[in-house]
Amino acid sequence: MELLDGKRIADEIKAEIAAEVEAIKSKGGKIPHLVAILIGHNGASETYVGHKEKACAQVGFKSQVLRFEDTITEAQLLNEIKKLNDDPDVDGFIVQMPLPKHIDEQKVIEAIDPKKDVDGFHPVNVGRMNIGLPAYVSATPDGIVELLRRYKIPTEGKHCVVLGRSNIVGRPIANLLSQKGYPGDCTVTICHSRTPNIKDHTLQADILIVALGKAEFVTADMVKPGAVVIDVGITRVDAPGTKSGWRLLGDVKFDEVAPKCSYITPVPGGVGPLTIVSLLKNTLKAAKKEVYG
């Protein structure tokens, strides 16, 4: 069993991006510039945006956080988005989710210029990705693909079972791994909350991707010996006696599943660190006008 060390791969890719930014600088080119809009005071959102700012600094990007109180109206937010769409100095931006209830998230996503949608949430990017055109791919599926690629895990002809059908993980990763080329050419099955006898499916998986948001859902009896297991779950559970008072659990019961696997991601330190790297990759692509020209 080998651990898929997302932290190590993330550091490796960040170093590659930092070197590319240095090269751009030395040629007098434009430094990539990412903006994050953060609304309200959601603890998890503050943490994520903090990590994104830190990662930008590590690779030499320009970054900026625009903060608004959760009293901002939808019209005001749409106007801020328009300003960023029109600002030639901004290569890419994100609106950190979730948004306050009085704001329509889908409307906000669709207001972002697809050329600057480095989260890859706009239907134009989702659609382009689905038919294999250059696109900004959203962070988690891109992170999974990067992990498979960097560990040179064979995918051609493999049966990949995806647990979860969300728009931001299950569906896009199932699509990407069924596409032609590497890492792809998989036979893909998607299971979800209405799938009977999930174990019958998971036992067939050469590659098992779990994105249900149900702590420790996958147990050892559900996994084929030698499988590659990618765990996207992160659930906070109380852990009295620890410094923070909580710890993170994945969707896979790690201790009993790990010994059966050829490869498995730890939680934390698996897919998570690569999601921020995907945002950096997309911002670099935006600055280089690689996707839309």
Could you list the active site residues? 52, 96, 119
Q: Considering CB under 6 A, how many residues would be counted as binding ligand GUN?
A: 7
18 belongs to the binding site for ligand GUN (CB under 6 A): no
Please report whether residue 234 would count as binding ligand GUN according to CB under 6 A: no
The reply to whether 94 sits near ligand GUN by the rule CB under 6 A is yes
Residues 240-279 that bind ligand GUN (CB under 6 A): none
In the complex, the smallest distance separating the C-beta of residue 96 from ligand GUN, rounded to whole angstroms, is 5
CB of 92 vs ligand GUN, minimal distance in Å: 11
Query: What is the sign of the dihedral through the CA atoms of 74, 80, 81 and 82?
Result: positive
Residue nearest to ligand GUN (CB): 97
CB of 100 to ligand GUN, least distance (A): 14
Nearest distance, CB of residue 64 and ligand GUN, angstroms: 15
> Stretches 25-33, 68-76, 92-100, 200-208: which one binds ligand GUN (CB under 6 A)?
92-100
We find the least distance from the C-beta atom of residue 53 to ligand GUN, in angstroms, to be 14
Site membership for ligand GUN, residue 10 (CB under 6 A): no
* Binding flag, residue 139, ligand GUN (CB under 6 A): yes
Single residue of 96, 155, 175, 282 touching ligand GUN by CB under 6 A: 96
| Beta carbon nearer to ligand GUN, 1 or 44 | 44
Query: Is 231 a binder of ligand GUN (CB under 6 A)?
Result: no
For the chain, what is the HEC assignment? Answer: CEECCHHHHHHHHHHHHHHHHHHHHHCCCCCCEEEEEEECCCHHHHHHHHHHHHHHHHHCCEEEEEEECCCCCHHHHHHHHHHHHHCCCCCEEEECCCCCCCCCHHHHHHHCCHHHECCCCCHHHHHHHHCCCCCCCCHHHHHHHHHHHHCCCCCCCCEEEEECCCCCCHHHHHHHHHCCCCCCCCEEEEECCCCCCHHHHHCCCCEEEECCCCCCCECHHHCCCCCEEEECCCEEEECCCCCCCEEEECCECHHHHHHHCCEECCCCCCCHHHHHHHHHHHHHHHHCCCCCC
Among 5, 80, 91, 119, binds ligand GUN (CB under 6 A): 119
Which region holds residue 21: left if phi is over 0, alpha if psi is between -120 and 50, else beta? alpha
Residues 35-74 that bind ligand GUN (CB under 6 A): 48
Region from 65-73, 90-98, 128-136, 185-193 binding ligand GUN, contact rule CB under 6 A: 90-98
Where do contacts with ligand GUN occur on this chain (CB under 6 A)? 48, 94-97, 119, 139
